């Protein structure tokens, strides 16, 4: 378990590394919601997603000997870029196991940032087993996508920023909606938010066929998604909540919300048209939940986290044209 002090220390480590993304309002979105909506655009973050926060927080604490041995991770793309970027900043060799069908932009950017990419089939392979095997061969440090105290604390700086910014704006939120895959962002942010803004409820948002956290919150224990599940939200395709993340989430989160791929597409179109932001599918689910009315926003103040903006140009153009894909 972590507490808000761990997140505050992570924020100090990240002071000159991550971007303090703003909280912004949009009158069109407020009109749709019937209340105030504050948008946290982590799509504007270093490497295009919140993932640099956790990756750097873990890697910067390695010993000199550990740094020499390098780091190994597994990721659908955003964590990969975060690890590669943090490794480049700290002089740590990095290798990341990524799906062969990951968005080309994520594969290309990970390589550009200096990461060694090892691909696998996401539907038949076990990325964690592959990564752990490589780490054992190289005696390298493993950097999990979400289930690690330093990763959770780093991602929790999103929630810490939201709390500080909301207080400064005198716009205290009634609820905060956070995109959820394995649960690192939601759990870390919930720790910070509940410490600073205890009146605010925190809700994870997932693709409807990858609703493992929502269903796990109902049952009180971790449950998995159907192996045949598919979604355009490549960043949110965790098949089961993490052990550490769920232990936090089950205590702190409110009801889980889900959205369809079509609702995600509409949210991406809305973000581009009205917010002038490029948001990837997985990064748009919290916005989609507001637009689709998955939670009551009338006469309330709602914070929406846009967790990433790394999307291939062809897919983005197709969605903006209104194709069902």
Q: Are residues 32 and 165 in the same domain?
A: yes
Q: Are residues 241 and 164 in the same domain?
A: yes
Q: Are residues 201 and 218 in the same domain?
A: yes
Q: Are residues 36 and 69 in the same domain?
A: no
On whether residue 325 sits in a domain, the answer given is no
Q: Are residues 280 and 302 in the same domain?
A: yes
Q: Are residues 262 and 156 in the same domain?
A: yes
pLDDT of residue 323: 53
User: What's the pLDDT tens digit per position in 262-272?
Assistant: 999 999 999 99
For residue 65, the enclosing domain spans: 51-145
Q: Are residues 194 and 274 in the same domain?
A: yes
Q: Are residues 199 and 308 in the same domain?
A: yes
Distance of alpha carbon 277 from alpha carbon 273, whole angstroms: 8
H-type alpha helices, 170-208 = 184-196
For 83-87, 95-99, 120-124, 127-131, which range has the lowest pLDDT when averaged over its residues? 120-124
Q: Which two tokens stand for residue 241?
A: 């909540």
Q: Are residues 125 and 268 in the same domain?
A: no
Q: Which two tokens stand for residue 4?
A: 């808000």
Residues 104-143: b if buried by 16+ CB within 10 A, e if exposed: ebbbebbbebebbbbbbebeeeebeebbeebbeeeebbbb
60: domain CATH number is 3.40.50.1100
On whether the CB atoms of residues 36 and 300 are closer than 8 A, the answer is yes
On whether the CB atoms of residues 67 and 77 are closer than 8 A, the answer is no
User: What's the pLDDT tens digit per position in 132-180?
Assistant: 999 999 999 999 999 999 999 999 999 999 999 999 999 999 999 999 9
Q: Are residues 14 and 66 in the same domain?
A: no
Mark which of 145, 172, 204 sits at the end of a domain.
Answer: 145
State how far Cα 209 lies from the chain centre: 17
Q: How many separate domains does the chain show? A: 2
């Amino acid at each position: 378990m972590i507490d808000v002090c761990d997140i505050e220390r992570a924020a100090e480590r990240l002071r000159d590394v991550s971007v303090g993304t703003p909280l912004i309002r949009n009158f069109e979105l407020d009109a749709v919601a019937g209340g105030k909506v504050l948008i946290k655009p982590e799509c504007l973050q270093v490497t295009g997603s919140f993932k640099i926060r956790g990756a750097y927080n873990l890697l910067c604490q390695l010993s000199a000997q550990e740094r020499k041995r390098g780091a190994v991770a597994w990721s659908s793309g955003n964590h990969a870029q975060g690890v590669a970027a943090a490794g480049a900043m700290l002089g740590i060799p990095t290798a990341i196991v990524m799906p062969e069908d990951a968005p080309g932009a994520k594969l290309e950017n990970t390589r550009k940032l200096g990461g060694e990419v090892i691909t696998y089939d996401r539907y038949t392979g076990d990325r964690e087993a592959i990564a752990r095997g490589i780490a054992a061969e190289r005696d390298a440090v493993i950097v999990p996508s979400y289930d690690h105290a330093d990763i959770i604390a780093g991602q929790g700086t999103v929630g810490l920023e939201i709390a500080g910014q909301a207080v400064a704006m005198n716009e205290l939120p009634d609820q905060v909606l956070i995109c959820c895959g394995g649960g690192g962002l939601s759990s870390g942010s919930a720790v910070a938010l509940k410490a600073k803004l205890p009146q605010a409820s925190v809700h994870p948002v997932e693709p409807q066929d990858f609703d493992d956290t929502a269903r796990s919150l109902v049952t009180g224990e971790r449950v998995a998604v159907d192996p045949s599940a598919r979604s355009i939200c490549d960043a949110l395709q965790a098949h089961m909540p993490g052990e550490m993340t769920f232990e936090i989430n089950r205590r702190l989160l409110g009801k889980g919300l889900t959205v369809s791929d079509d609702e995600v597409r509409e949210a991406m179109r809305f973000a581009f048209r009205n917010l002038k932001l490029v948001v990837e599918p997985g990064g748009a689910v919290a916005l989609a939940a507001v637009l689709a009315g998955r939670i009551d926003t009338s006469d309330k103040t709602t914070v929406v986290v846009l967790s990433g903006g790394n999307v291939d140009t062809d897919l983005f153009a197709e969605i903006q044209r209104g194709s069902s894909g």
